[in-house]
């Protein structure tokens, strides 16, 4: 290609990128909203709910979005992973079908998503019990607002820690518990993750990754950071399977009306170190074995972020009125987003009848 033509092509491409970046920036500056449910005439559907709130929970402003086609449907609370990353826009993108059969509560935990002020420092002293206590207040506030019976809890990754503890401590409030990427023995899980990543690095001949993994060594480590590098887990398919990755989740999230710059920024801020260090020490499968609610664990066959084999072993050990382990054969750590149709069907066809029966 002649130089003038090449220069024009480069300028055109750069201009296109600049316009795309400007369009995205303007889009993310827009006011947020959550769309109402409408009937065939375009009027608000009677009995539906679509509300955005900021509730002060145990002294911390926390974002709560409530959506459902029929407010009489069972209440489902989504307890996101992280601990610093909200999943509200991702669930809205991939699992909004559940709003037809459940009253879905999107809760951004303290210092995550819309509950995070990106410019304010997080407190240096936090505990997992803070999150369990927040969930208890949230459910009490929802009871006052919606007047329902028991709740369904769907917890993902980190969210399975406060979620499972809540079921154990407050069985009177929980109809069904669904743990996605359930944590069972985090120290052992991280050892297995490290071994898997190292084996993959060697199989692929990835000398840079081998050097990094050799430098940090297997857990436990002297500096207390026992997590396997998440970037490598994602690169090798132990976090996402098939065609999904963090970037695609981000852009899928950015299309939701509930998201603007304030929500997009925390997606890249998952540095809640006090909670992460406590999470890294979690061992459930020895002392947390008796539950009064049905317990359903969901794991992706390719999950090496939270070892699925340990979750399956844990479910075998615990006692509950009903329990089931569901494998998602084409997922890694996020079955609700990697196989959304199957996950939504599981919630409607299995979890909903259990909740109604309870």
Nearest to 283 by CA among 126, 164, 176: 164
Tally Cβ neighbours within 10 Å of residue 325: 18
| pLDDT > 90 fraction of the chain, expressed in percent and rounded | 70
Q: What is the pLDDT of residues 41-87, one digit of tens each?
A: 999 999 999 999 999 999 999 999 999 999 999 999 999 998 878 89
Q: Do the domain assignments include residue 42?
A: no
pLDDT band at 266; cut points 50, 70, 90: low
Q: Do the domain assignments include residue 211?
A: no
> What distance in Å separates the CA atoms of residue 5 and residue 3, rounded to the nearest whole number?
5
Specify the pLDDT at position 269.
56
> What distance in Å separates the CA atoms of residue 66 and residue 105, rounded to the nearest whole number?
5
Return the DSSP state at 113. Answer: G
Q: Do the domain assignments include residue 181?
A: yes
Q: What is the pLDDT of residues 241-265, one digit of tens each?
A: 978 877 787 777 777 777 766 665 5
pLDDT band at 1; cut points 50, 70, 90: low
Q: Do the domain assignments include residue 286?
A: yes
Cβ atoms 266, 113 nearer than 8 A = yes
* Structural domain boundaries enclosing 172: 49-188+235-357
Cβ atoms 228, 197 nearer than 8 A = yes
- CATH assignment at residue 138: 3.40.50.1820
Q: Do the domain assignments include residue 204?
A: no
Q: Do the domain assignments include residue 80?
A: yes
Return the DSSP state at 262. Answer: H
Q: What is the pLDDT of residues 304-353, one digit of tens each?
A: 999 999 999 999 999 999 999 999 999 999 999 999 999 999 999 999 99
> What distance in Å separates the CA atoms of residue 179 and residue 79, rounded to the nearest whole number?
10
Q: Judge if pTM exceeds 0.85.
A: yes
> What distance in Å separates the CA atoms of residue 57 and residue 76, rounded to the nearest whole number?
19
Q: Do the domain assignments include residue 271?
A: yes
Look at the chain and report how many structural domains it folds into.
1
Q: What is the pLDDT of residues 185-200, one digit of tens each?
A: 999 999 999 999 999 9
Specify the pLDDT at position 218.
95
Nearest to 61 by CA among 136, 106, 111: 111
Q: Do the domain assignments include residue 298?
A: yes
């Amino acid at each position: 290609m002649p130089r003038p033509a090449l220069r024009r092509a480069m300028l055109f491409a750069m201009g296109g990128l600049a316009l795309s970046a400007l369009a995205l920036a303007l889009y993310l500056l827009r006011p947020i909203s959550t769309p109402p449910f409408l009937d065939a005439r375009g009027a608000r559907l009677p009995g539906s709910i679509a509300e955005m709130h900021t509730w002060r929970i145990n002294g911390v402003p926390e974002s709560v979005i409530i959506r459902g086609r029929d407010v009489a449907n069972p209440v489902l609370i989504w307890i996101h992973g992280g601990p610093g990353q909200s999943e509200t826009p991702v669930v809205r993108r991939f699992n909004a079908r559940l709003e037809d059969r459940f009253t879905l509560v999107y809760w951004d935990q303290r210092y995550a998503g819309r509950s995070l002020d990106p410019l304010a420092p997080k407190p240096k002293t936090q505990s997992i019990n803070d999150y369990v206590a927040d969930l208890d207040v949230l459910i009490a506030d929802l009871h006052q607002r919606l007047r329902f019976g028991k709740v369904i809890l769907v917890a993902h990754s980190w969210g399975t820690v406060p979620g499972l503890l809540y079921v154990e401590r407050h069985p009177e409030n929980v109809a069904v518990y669904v743990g996605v990427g359930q944590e069972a023995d985090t120290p052992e899980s991280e050892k297995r993750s490290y071994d898997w990543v190292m084996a993959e690095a060697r199989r692929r001949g990835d000398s840079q990754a081998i050097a990094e993994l050799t430098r940090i060594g297997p857990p436990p480590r002297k500096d207390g950071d026992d997590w396997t590098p998440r970037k490598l887990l994602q690169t090798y398919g132990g976090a996402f399977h098939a065609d999904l990755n963090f970037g695609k989740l981000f852009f899928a999230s950015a299309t939701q009306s509930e998201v603007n710059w304030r929500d997009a920024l925390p997606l890249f801020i998952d540095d809640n170190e006090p909670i992460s260090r406590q999470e890294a020490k979690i061992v459930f499968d020895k002392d947390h074995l008796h539950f009064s609610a049905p317990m359903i664990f969901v794991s992706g066959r390719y999950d090496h972020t939270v070892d699925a084999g340990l979750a399956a072993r844990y479910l075998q050990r615990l006692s509950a009125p009903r329990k089931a382990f569901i494998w998602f054969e084409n997922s890694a750590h996020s079955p609700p987003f990697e196989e959304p149709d199957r996950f939504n069907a599981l919630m409607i066809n299995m979890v909903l009848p259990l909740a109604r029966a309870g």
